[in-house]
Structure 1
Amino acid sequence: MSLVETAIQMRVVYQGELLTIRKDSVSLPDASKATREYVVHPGACVVIPQIRPGLYVFERQFRYPLRQVFIEFPAGKLDKQESALVCAQRELKEETGYSAENWLHLGVMHNCIGYSNEKIEIFLASDLRPGNQALDSGEFLELFEMSLDEAEDAVRKGLLTDAKTITCLFWLRMIEGRHEAKIGSLADQIGR
């Protein structure tokens, strides 16, 4: 059986500066009809700034929709016609002042698949060179350093809840290779 839903009618219900909200009528795999409301997002990048293996630059930033300060890695949306790498390099420089000699694309994440098409490209930036921040107007954040172990502990304690940053921590742990055997055995269990 096909799982694909096919658009019958697509309609924009809100067009903002950053986001578009759509409400589409779709045909389901069993030929019945349904409505899908979702956010169209231009895409984004998140950067893992590595001071040295095991030590990383984080930021604290107030996020208005949840009215609280979050711990995050530097990130931002893609500008029109901008490549993911250029976006990552720009965001690292703007938010932290750092530039990086080495860039590694680790993967992609979709953080809200039930109601958004947002795609976030994940980059590791190493061999950092300090410089001056160039924050956007109205952007306020605080930089600090944490080890991977400290960041994972912050997740366990509920102090770090940002999905893109937690995904980055997963990638870092994979790179370190500490849990390869556990991940492999878990994958075998899931595959059965």
Structure 2
Amino acid sequence: MHSNKPGEAAPGPGPDSHLREETLDSRELLRGNFLHAFTDTVRLPDGRQATREYIRHPGAVMIIAQLDDGKLVLERQFRYPVQSVMLEFPAGKLDAGEGSLACAQRELREETGYTARLWAKAGVLHPVISYSTEFIDIWFARDLTAGQRQLDAGEFLDVFTATPEQVLQWCQDGSVTDGKTLAGALWLQNVLSGAWTRDWKTGVGG
């Protein structure tokens, strides 16, 4: 019997058919430099119609980069929508046609100056499933080499290091509220404890 993962389309009537919505019409609301907004008309499982407003997002990556001394590479960056300086793991969106690993390598280098010899894919995060298609691929990076940052025009951020224990404490006390960084801390905690294992590879491919 076929078993579907969460979010995977069923091959016809199946155990999720009572939950799925059928798209009847889609209308573009906004095409900006970054975000692409739509409103869709859908048929609900009970046959009624409803509207769904959402944003199409190109996808992104987040990097949990660890130095030889065990400290982690983090950033402080002002996020305009919430009007706050946030503590975050390095991250950035995919360019058109760019592979996930290539994006992670580029973002780590551009934002922090570090390059990494070893990389391990952790998983994928869907941060705002109620109104966006955004996904974030989570990567671990080790065997780091320091270098020169290459920030984009108009990009301002501080790079600093902290121990895993400090990061977990900040998650606990509310100093870290960024969703992707909280998810990254969950991965970090389990990887460091040995509960979750990763397949480390040299940084080649996309």
Q: Same fold judged by TM-score > 0.5?
A: yes
Secondary structure at the residue paired with 1:171?
helix
Matches within 5 A, 1:1-192: 2=17, 3-52=19-68, 54-177=70-193, 180=195
Secondary structure at the residue paired with 1:11?
strand
| 1:90-141 superposed Cα distances (whole Å, 9 cap, x missing partner) | 0000000000000101000000000111000000010000000000000011
* RMSD (Å) for aligned C-alpha atoms: 1.4
| Structure-2 residue corresponding to 1:187 | none
State percent identity of aligned pairs: 46
Secondary structure at the residue paired with 1:116?
coil
Over 4 Å off, 4+ runs: none
Q: CA deviation at 1:53?
A: 6.7
Distance 2:74 2:118 in 1: 18
Q: CA deviation at 1:176?
A: 1.6
The alignment covers a number of residue pairs equal to 180
Unaligned runs of 5+ in 2: 1-15, 196-206
Q: Closer, same or farther in 2 for the Cα pair 1:164/1:53, shift >3 Å?
A: farther
